[in-house]
Amino acid sequence: MKYHKRFDLGRVIAIVTVATLLGADSLRAQFAEDVLRFSSFNLGIGARSAAMGNTSVGIADDFSSLFTNPAGLTSLRSFEFSVGLSNAGYTNDATFFGTKTNATDRITNLNNFGLVYPVPTKRGSLSFAFGFARVANFGTTASFSGFNPNNSIVESLTPDVNLNGMSADDRERLLDANIPFQTYLADIDSARGRLIPHVLGNVQQDGSVRETGGINSWSFGGALELSKGLSLGVGIDILSGSYGYDRLYIETDSRNFYNGAVPDDFAKFRYESTINSELSGYNVLVGLMYRKQGKFKLGLTVRTPTYYKIEEDFADIGTAWFDNGDHFDLRNPGSTSYEIQTPYIFSAGGSIQATDWLLLAGDAEITDWTQMEFNTDNADLLEENRFIRSAFKSTTALRGGAEVTLFDLGLRLRGGIVYNPSPYKNDRPELDQKYYTAGIGAAIDENVSLNASLAFGTWRTFRDNYYLYGFDAPSRTSESVNTSLVNVTLTYRF
């Protein structure tokens, strides 16, 4: 899942300023969006469920059950080996001050591979499974371009603090780390004891943002038939992955508004931000399933919070050019580590064998996003936890799908729909995510089957490039996102 970017640089500057004054090594702050990113999983493990609108809790009868409802593993009476590939596409049309810019990205990953091992029993069923899945992809992209007559990022990067009230050491640390001051885009007003930016709007703003990485899960689980038709399953997920963020932001005096003498001869400002994170974590998935053979299945699952530890390196680089040929730059690198906890996820689903040739399925998934939190004693991150509880809400995601079996051709045709509401309070309906899915399955021979799925997603979002006191969304893009996901899974039962 991907949700809209609420990059609030006002909170960044406040925390960065405090960190600078305290002489902290890290100048980057963590936000609710970091927890949300790592709390959201992919659309579908395995092509069959992905084709049926990601319905899985009440269908689960193959290797992918390990990641969706492990109780379904008892449905398998023979060994199963599964392997799959996925190809994800991302298209973003961003409108910025009346100008629309398109950006696209596409990535191929190993989607899953693993083995189901059914244990021979005299009564009931006992099965184990082990394998790998790509449970989250972070790949997004955006580009924007437009003329902003009202303000500049230089203003937002210039903290409004009383320099005269600081100690000499605190003042020096602040000024040494401040990009506008060190690149001569801001100066000190000695009488007021304040930093004053030289660039106040009437600038061309261009930028691009790219996110990369994802989360991999190595999982082990098993299922036991407690009584006829009723199964209990447990899966343990060991998670690892990476996240990359690369933003290039450029302001230029495209209309020669700043044509005075030094320091009012601004020409161009280039601001680069990079983040590279490595993460590790774990969670447990518990599932129940009741089935009436050939008629229906009912499933329930509970996924515990995922507990992540994240190691992060980052850098902010600012470079300024002037009409007289001068240019200055400053690089602020840093590193940090933190721990987060994602919410509980409760799911319920069912499937009905309506006729010999028609299977219908549906799922509902409840997530209380206010349960996201930073596990820390840091006062700033504890404040962010309070923001999470006030800004987020509980949501119910809905999924539905159907499968039609064409007996004469040995084919199965599938289709479905997914609705993921935005986790933010008071969001408009167009910010909710909607996916439309389709797919096909074919039995190559008695033991081998091939399944393919295609999913299209669409929603609107926005991105704030920076925050500036007194301005409502001073530099905001309005974005229309379309995604595609192709999934192919080969299954061998023996």
Q: Which domain holds residue 324?
A: 9-493
Q: Is 272 a domain residue?
A: yes
49, containing H or E segment: helix 47-51
350 domain residue, yes or no: yes
378 in any annotated domain? yes
**CA distance linking residue 419 with residue 55, whole number of Å:** 12
Among candidate residues 158, 52, 175, the one with its CA nearest the CA of residue 452: 52
Residue 3 lies inside a defined structural domain of this protein:
no
CA 363 to CA 348: how far, in whole Å?
Answer: 6
Exposed (0-12), middle (13-18) or buried (19+): which is 145, by Cβ within 10 Å? middle
Instruction: Give domain status of residue 157, yes or no.
Output: yes
- Could you report how far apart the first and last alpha carbons of the chain are, in Å? 35
Q: Could you tell me which of 431, 402, 405 has the C-alpha nearest to residue 417?
A: 402
Element spanning 362, H or E? strand 358-368
User: How many independent structural domains does the chain possess?
Assistant: 1
CB-CB neighbours of 293 under 10 Å = 10
List the one residue out of 57, 78, 67, 75 whose CA is nearest residue 219: 67
Give Cα separations from 173 to 22, 182, 251, 442 (angstroms). Answer: 9, 12, 26, 66
Q: In this structure, what CATH number is given to the domain that contains residue 151? A: 2.40.160.60
Q: CA angle 477-159-245, nearest 5°?
A: 45
What is the three-class DSSP state of 397?
A: strand
Give the 3-state secondary structure of 88-143: EEEEEEEEECCEEEEEEEEEEEEEEEEEEEEECCCCCCEEEEEEEEEEEECCEEEE
Query: Mind listing the pLDDT tens digit of every residue in the chain (494 residues)?
Result: 444 443 433 334 333 433 433 333 334 457 888 899 999 887 778 899 999 999 999 998 999 999 999 999 999 989 999 999 999 999 999 999 999 999 999 999 999 999 999 998 878 899 999 999 999 999 999 999 999 999 999 999 999 999 999 999 999 999 999 999 999 999 999 888 999 999 999 999 999 999 999 999 999 999 999 999 999 999 999 999 999 999 999 999 999 999 988 888 999 999 999 999 999 999 999 999 999 988 999 999 999 999 999 999 999 999 999 999 999 999 999 999 999 999 999 999 999 999 999 999 999 999 999 999 999 888 888 889 999 999 999 999 999 999 999 977 779 999 999 999 999 998 999 999 999 999 999 999 889 999 999 999 999 999 999 999 888 889 999 999 999 999 999 999 99
Query: In terms of residues, how long is the chain?
Result: 494
- Residue 342: inside a domain, yes or no? yes
The burial class, CB within 10 Å (0-12 / 13-18 / 19+), for 39 is buried
252, 152 Cβ separation under 8 angstroms: no
CA distance to 63, 65, 237, per residue, from 234 (Å)? 13, 10, 10
Contact between residue 399 and residue 53 where contact means Cβ atoms under 8 Å apart: yes
Q: Is 286 helix (H, G, I), strand (E, B) or coil?
A: strand
